[in-house]
Amino acid sequence: MDLCKICDHGLETIISFGEMPISNRFVSDLTTDEFFYDLSLGFCPKCLMVQLENCVDPDMMFNPDYAYFSSISRAMEGHFKEMADEIIVSVSDRPRPFVVELGTNDGIMLKHIAERGVPHLGVEPSANVGASAREKGVNILVEFFNSKCASEIMDSHGQADIICGANVMCHIENINSVFDGVRILLKPEGEFFFEDPYLSNIIQKTSFDQIYDEHVYYFSGLAVSGLAKRHGLELVNMVPQEVHGGSMRYYLKKGSGNPVTNNVDFFLSQEKALNLDSLEGYASFKERVDKICSDFRNVLLKIKADGKRVAAYGATSKSTTLLIYSKVGPGLIDYVSDTTPTKIGKYTPGTHIPVKSYEHFLGDSPPYTVLLAWNHKAEILEKEQEYRKGGGKFITFFPEVTIE
Ligand code: SAH
Ligand code: TYD
């Protein structure tokens, strides 16, 4: 039995997907062997954290070849500008504020803080995306954040008014060390906030493609409040976010007895109503995943049998789980269109579907396109009005397979 990475209690398995490759490692040479690990999701009945049962070594995922550049979407640019504005307001009355961001990536958020001349530091282990942030004037420390790194930052820069991170806390297996680090680095009156895909949304929508190597944790307010307490922190607010198919932003303060918003009670009660505090809440998840996958494969087989072609849109890391678990490869999807220069010309991990440029997609105009980047649906549908007017159809798969 695998043990909880937070409290060492035995994990209950929710679903096993089998062997998976590293989801952001696009393949350039099909003759070289890929690394595979066993992907399965577990629930800790003691601390209520949903998590991967086996984790991949962080150096294998986050390194100078990291494929994900945050600034790929206009909607995400807007989202992070708003986050930066909120930070600017909240530090405006502090004498010499210091803002630390974990998982800065290409500086999509912190560039706005840098532009305003606010002292800041981005902690980003993947040197390539970190270099892109530096080009935007952002101060970057190429390191994995943990308690040791936090002590070093405190010695060199002092404590922080704000520590934040988006889509990064769920990536860090050694989260106890990260929370200890936050306690060390945060000023007594400082604020720590982070956001990640929200467990309630994943379970309710069956958006199982969020489950892959980089996403070690699937946070709920129930689990985060307990985790915070273990580390001398307190969950004081929860604010839902529309991005990435439904995320939750958690606000934490040091100590206990801080004013706590009604939102926390509200979302914790909702989570309990969904039974996310017991294995029962996850009981039908695998069955629903299996249905989506067989429907998805059958729809593609039918289109193929009718002699039509299918392409896909967005070489996302999350689609690794969908494609492999559904047994969908280059026999059913001709290529995946993507705007990220470092992904183009390579092949999707494990399934080896060619990744082609967006220009190729525009010229080709395939009759059917699987919307792998479904979390950017609004932005993409707006952009692809011509494609749809010309008869092109998108295939989506949550909460059920749909052609639109
Ligand atoms: N915040 C960005 C990036 C998310 S991708 C956004 O929301 O778009 C996750 C990023 O976290 C990657 O750039 C990865 O290199 C970084 N990361 C992974 N482990 C980390 C750690 N221990 N400390 C800081 N950053 C980490
Ligand atoms: P995303 O879904 O944000 O993340 P993940 O890899 O974590 O699952 O990735 C979106 C991918 O889709 C990214 O590779 C860029 C691509 N993309 C396009 O090609 N065109 C677009 O209009 C958008 C919004 C994204």
Pairing of strands 310-313, 368-371: parallel
pLDDT in tens, 339-376: 999 999 999 999 999 999 999 999 999 999 999 999 99
- Distance in angstroms (rounded) separating the CA atoms of residues 66 and 271: 34
- Output the pLDDT for position 114: 98
CA of 71 to the centre of ligand 2 (A): 10
Determine if ligand 2 sits within 6 Å of the CB of residue 380: yes
Do domains 70-282 and 285-403 share one topology? The answer is yes
- Are 324 and 351 in contact by the 8 Å Cβ rule? The answer is yes
- Output the pLDDT for position 150: 98
Coil, strand, or helix at residue 261? coil
Out of 61, 62, 316, mutate this one to test ligand 1's pocket (max ligand atoms within 8 Å of CB): namely: 62
In the chain, what is the greatest distance between 2 CA atoms, to the nearest angstrom?
67
- Distance in angstroms (rounded) separating the CA atoms of residues 94 and 201: 36
- Output the pLDDT for position 72: 86
Determine if ligand 1 sits within 6 Å of the CB of residue 70: yes
pLDDT in tens, 67-114: 899 998 899 999 999 999 999 999 999 989 999 999 999 999 999 999
CATH topology of domain 285-403: Rossmann fold (3.40.50)
pLDDT in tens, 184-243: 999 999 999 999 999 999 999 999 999 999 999 999 999 999 999 999 999 999 999 999
Within 70-220, residue ranges assigned H as helices are: 74-91, 110-115, 127-135, 147-157, 175-185, 199-205
- Output the pLDDT for position 307: 97
Q: Considering the domain 70-282 in this protein, what is its CATH number?
A: 3.40.50.150
Which atom of ligand 2 is nearest to 214's Cα?
7
CA of 358 to the centre of ligand 1 (A): 26
Closest C-alpha to ligand 2, atom 22: 380
Burial class (CB within 10 angstroms; exposed 0-12, middle 13-18, buried 19+) of 89: exposed
Ligand nearest to the CA of 165: 1
Domain ranges (residues) in the chain: 70-282, 285-403
Determine if ligand 2 sits within 6 Å of the CB of residue 340: yes
For the record, the structure tokens of 397 come out as: 């798969």
- Distance in angstroms (rounded) separating the CA atoms of residues 172 and 168: 7
CB atoms within 10 A of CB 198: 26
Which atom of ligand 2 is nearest to 316's Cα?
6
Closest C-alpha to ligand 1, atom 26: 103
Ligand nearest to the CA of 75: 2
- Output the pLDDT for position 252: 98
Strand pairing partners for 195?
166, 249
- Distance in angstroms (rounded) separating the CA atoms of residues 123 and 143: 6
Determine if ligand 2 sits within 6 Å of the CB of residue 139: no
CA of 317 to the centre of ligand 2 (A): 9
For the record, the structure tokens of 204 come out as: 């309710």
CA of 390 to the centre of ligand 1 (A): 39
CB hemisphere CA count around 326 (13 angstroms): 28
Closest C-alpha to ligand 2, atom 16: 314
- What amino acid is encoded at 2 in this protein? D
pLDDT > 70: what percent of the chain?
100
Over the chain, what is the mean pLDDT?
97
Which atom of ligand 2 is nearest to 315's Cα?
14
Categorize the per-residue pLDDT at 1 as very low, low, confident or very high, splitting at 50, 70 and 90.
confident
Determine if ligand 2 sits within 6 Å of the CB of residue 105: no
- Distance in angstroms (rounded) separating the CA atoms of residues 13 and 90: 41
The angle subtended at Cα 272 by Cα 50 and Cα 243, nearest 5°, is 60
Determine if ligand 1 sits within 6 Å of the CB of residue 66: yes
DSSP secondary-structure letter at 34?
Answer: P
Query: Which is nearest to 14 in space by CA: 283, 291, 290, 293?
Result: 283
Within 158-192, residue ranges assigned H as helices are: 175-185
Q: What is the mean pLDDT of residues 155-178?
A: 98
- Distance in angstroms (rounded) separating the CA atoms of residues 397 and 399: 6
Ligand nearest to the CA of 375: 2
Strand pairing partners for 148?
none
105: which residues sit within 8 A by CB, 6+ positions away? 68, 69, 70, 124, 126, 129, 130, 132, 133
For 22-75, list the strands marked E by DSSP: 36-43, 50-52
- Distance in angstroms (rounded) separating the CA atoms of residues 121 and 162: 11
Q: What is the mean pLDDT of residues 272-283?
A: 97
Within 93-174, residue ranges assigned H as helices are: 110-115, 127-135, 147-157
Pairing of strands 402-403, 12-21: unpaired
Closest C-alpha to ligand 1, atom 3: 105
Q: What is the mean pLDDT of residues 324-352?
A: 97
CB atoms within 10 A of CB 357: 17
Closest C-alpha to ligand 1, atom 10: 103
Residue 392, pLDDT above cutoff 90: yes
- Are 275 and 379 in contact by the 8 Å Cβ rule? The answer is no
CA of 243 to the centre of ligand 1 (A): 16
pLDDT in tens, 5-45: 999 999 999 999 999 999 999 999 999 999 999 999 999 99
Pairing of strands 36-43, 160-166: unpaired
- What amino acid is encoded at 26 in this protein? F
